[in-house]
Structure 1
Amino acid sequence: MILDTEPFPRLETKRLVLREVTTEDSNSLLKYLSDEEVMKYYGLNPFQSINDALDEISWYQSIQKNKTGIRWGITLKDQGAVIGSCGFHNSVLQHFRTEIGFELSKDHWGKGIAFEAVQAIISYGFEHLDLQRIEALIEPPNSSSQRLVEKLGFIREGLLRNYEFTCGKFDDLYMYSLLKQDFDEVKNG
């Protein structure tokens, strides 16, 4: 697996630009990551301060530097503000696999933006990072994220019981996966 992401890859779709998140985006992140509904399945408490947003940006930078992931800011082509993010984390280079994560400002829910962004990074992952497997770990009550990944061809493999301890509780997570050959079939199909 190749996780050389220098310079940072800028991706464009019909409506979106996916780009590097910088400290100048901290106010945008704070705006949507302080929303309880956005953070409901994120694994962190809603952000309280600009320092929380700066810590998140620092994490984005560290996973890229350590070659364990990459996180894009989601922006609308006609605007510069980051309205969400998506990317890969917990990448295991020797096994050609990674996990996917995404979130979006509530103001933009239901418009197909998350689908468009996630579709773009999945394509990038299989075509440029030489991935074989992309995983999505989703809490059972998070039906909208389940529908999104299923629409993209992900297969639910099973339930990981008490898999994570976040926000003071143990969470069950569904394990979804998309393999390169599944992606190629859908793409060519």
Structure 2
Amino acid sequence: MTNKEFPIIETERLYLRAAAKDDAKDMLIYLSDAEVVNHMGLEPFKTIEDVWDEINWYNSIYNEGTGIRWVITLKDEGRVIGSCGFLNRQMKHYRAEVGYEMNRDYWGRGIAGEALNAVLRYGYTHFSLERIEALIEPANISSQKLVEKQGFIREGLLRHYEYTRGKFDDLYMYSIIKAEFK
């Protein structure tokens, strides 16, 4: 980390904070789950070292100013159950892309929506973002529903936008503008 202090976000049920090396065991649980990483363009993680690489990436985007990734913990449990944050931040254009993933044991409880809402609010308040984007595979219906519930609009299909795991992926482009955020 740099000298700047990593921000902590608190919601009704959650603490969002910086990832620490000690979180790797919790993170490996969901990052090694094929269903969790299926729509992320990643192979399931196999080792703690894979997770340390992910944590190092979180640190690098923060230090470079191109993004920020919070790990998600439930206040009453403390263990890491997912992450959410910004990447591809373009300060000159007041925009960033948002991403997230969650341990499958916690799907369907509104936790991802609570975390995403807090991260969006942070982006508009502290980064002065005007536009936040989400790139989502067409088959990832639950992620589409999650962002639509937050007010994102589907703008269109980006054909063969990414090359991951040996194939080209189409991605829907979603966005939400600051004035649309509730």
2:133 is aligned with 1:118? no
Gaps in structure 2 of 5+ consecutive residues: none
| Cα drift, residue 80 of structure 1 | 1.6
- Which residue, 144, 148, 155 being the options, matches 1:146? 144
| Identical aligned residues as a percent | 59
Seen in structure 2, the aligned counterparts of structure 1 residues 100 and 5 have a Cα distance that, compared at 3 Å, is farther
Cα deviation 1:138-176 (Å, max 9, x = unaligned): 000000000000000000000000000011111000000
Seen in structure 2, the aligned counterparts of structure 1 residues 106 and 5 have a Cα distance that, compared at 3 Å, is farther
* Cα distance in 1 between the residues matched to 2:154 and 2:164: 22
User: Where does residue 156 of structure 1 map in the other structure?
Assistant: 154
- Which residue, 14, 22, 25 being the options, matches 1:24? 22
| Cα drift, residue 6 of structure 1 | 2.5
Mapped contact 1:5–1:64 kept (Cα < 8 A)? no
User: Where does residue 50 of structure 2 map in the other structure?
Assistant: 52
SS of the residue corresponding to residue 74 of structure 1 reads: strand
| Cα drift, residue 5 of structure 1 | 9.5
TM-score using structure 2 length = 0.97
* Cα distance in 1 between the residues matched to 2:172 and 2:153: 10
Paired AA for residue 28 in structure 1: D
Cα deviation 1:62-89 (Å, max 9, x = unaligned): 0000000000000000122110000000
- Which residue, 71, 86, 90 being the options, matches 1:88? 86
User: Where does residue 69 of structure 1 map in the other structure?
Assistant: 67
* Cα distance in 2 between the residues matched to 1:124 and 1:93: 15
Map 1:99-138; keep pairs closer than 5 Å: 99-138=97-136
- How many pairs align? 181
TM-score using structure 1 length = 0.94
Mapped contact 1:87–1:102 kept (Cα < 8 A)? yes
CA RMSD of aligned residues (A): 1.2
SS of the residue corresponding to residue 41 of structure 1 reads: helix
Paired AA for residue 16 in structure 2: L
Mapped contact 1:11–1:19 kept (Cα < 8 A)? yes
SS of the residue corresponding to residue 40 of structure 2 reads: coil
| Cα drift, residue 10 of structure 1 | 0.5
Mapped contact 1:134–1:179 kept (Cα < 8 A)? yes
